[in-house]
């Protein structure tokens, strides 16, 4: 396993453990998710042994979305969160599926249609760093397992804050740092040895799943992300650790 790099060079950012020009990262991430889109849900079930559904259910419940609200699911991928929010907001509300990747967005549209969810669920190809929505548009914004792939996370947090209504909430569901050292070592072994092999045999793409493992290690830990949200302007930021800190949900509000 390659050691985690300590920081970015000027004009560069991390793509997993690789240093790439800042202008290239979005393209590289797009290539990864275009490659894995068709097998994304199957791989999620295999990689997490189905536990990702429990993590998502926790985030959905924590969001507390009500009938008539407007919800934006950023980096919504295949639409698991969007589907739940569409049902919660009902015909009088709005749930928007957004993703920067066209292949993932198309997969999400297809899955929503298969679930019989149509009507109040527009799908928008959008970059989290510069969301194409008016100020104060949404009661709730979620981003599930997507923030770690964003080049400028601070810009994305500011963009999501801007598009929230006053009193609205942001929920970030993301891989994080295991709380116990022994468990963290086991998790590293699983991430760097098992996941790429699953990618090779199931998705026929070992490199993309190696990147995904590295991107998890490069993502800010619980306290760092909490501080980033507060610096972006969110208040009452709370952190909920799941599965020993493998995943965390951060929730913050716009004043």
Distance of CA 207 to the CA centre of its chain: 20
128 is in an annotated binding site: yes
99 is in an annotated binding site: yes
Residue ranges in the chain assigned as alpha helix (H): 25-36, 40-48, 52-63, 80-89, 102-114, 153-163, 181-189, 195-198, 206-218, 222-232
- Are β-strands 12-15 and 18-21 bridged in parallel, bridged antiparallel, or unpaired? antiparallel
Contact present, 166 and 235 (Cβ < 8 Å)? no
127 is in an annotated binding site: yes
Distance of CA 96 to the CA centre of its chain: 15
78 is in an annotated binding site: yes
Cα–Cα distance between 39 and 93 in angstroms, integer?
31
Structure tokens at 247: 């995943």
Dihedral class, residue 9 (left if φ above 0, else alpha if ψ from -120 to 50, else beta) = beta
Cα–Cα distance between 113 and 83 in angstroms, integer?
10
User: For residue 117, which phi and psi values (nearest 5 degrees)?
Assistant: -100, 110
- Are β-strands 94-99 and 70-74 bridged in parallel, bridged antiparallel, or unpaired? parallel
Q: Which residues are annotated as a binding site?
A: 78, 99, 127-128
Q: Which residues are annotated as a binding site for S-adenosyl-L-methionine?
A: 78, 99, 127-128
């Amino acid at each position: 396993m390659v050691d985690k790099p300590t920081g970015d060079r000027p004009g560069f950012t991390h793509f997993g453990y690789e240093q790439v020009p800042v202008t290239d990262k979005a393209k590289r991430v797009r290539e990864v998710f275009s490659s894995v889109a068709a097998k994304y849900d199957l791989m999620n079930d295999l990689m997490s042994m189905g536990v990702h559904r429990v993590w998502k259910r926790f985030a959905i419940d924590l969001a507390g979305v009500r009938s008539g609200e407007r919800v934006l699911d950023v980096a919504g991928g295949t639409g698991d969160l969007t589907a739940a929010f569409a049902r919660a907001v009902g015909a009088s509300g709005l749930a928007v599926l957004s993703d920067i990747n066209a292949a993932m967005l198309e997969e999400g549209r297809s899955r929503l249609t298969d679930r019989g969810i149509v009507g109040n669920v527009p799908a928008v190809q959008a970059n989290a760093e510069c969301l194409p929505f008016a100020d104060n548009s949404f009661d709730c914004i979620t981003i599930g397992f997507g923030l770690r792939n964003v080049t400028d996370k601070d810009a994305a947090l500011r963009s999501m804050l801007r598009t929230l209504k006053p009193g609205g909430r942001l929920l970030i569901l993301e891989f994080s740092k295991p709380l116990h050292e022994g468990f963290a070592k086991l998790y590293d072994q699983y991430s760097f040895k098992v996941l790429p092999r699953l990618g090779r045999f199931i998705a026929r793409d070992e490199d993309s799943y190696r990147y995904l493992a590295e991107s998890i290690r490069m993502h800010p830990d619980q306290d760092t992300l909490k501080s980033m949200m507060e610096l972006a302007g969110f208040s009452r930021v709370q952190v909920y650790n799941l599965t020993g800190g493998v995943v965390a949900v951060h929730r913050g509000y716009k004043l």
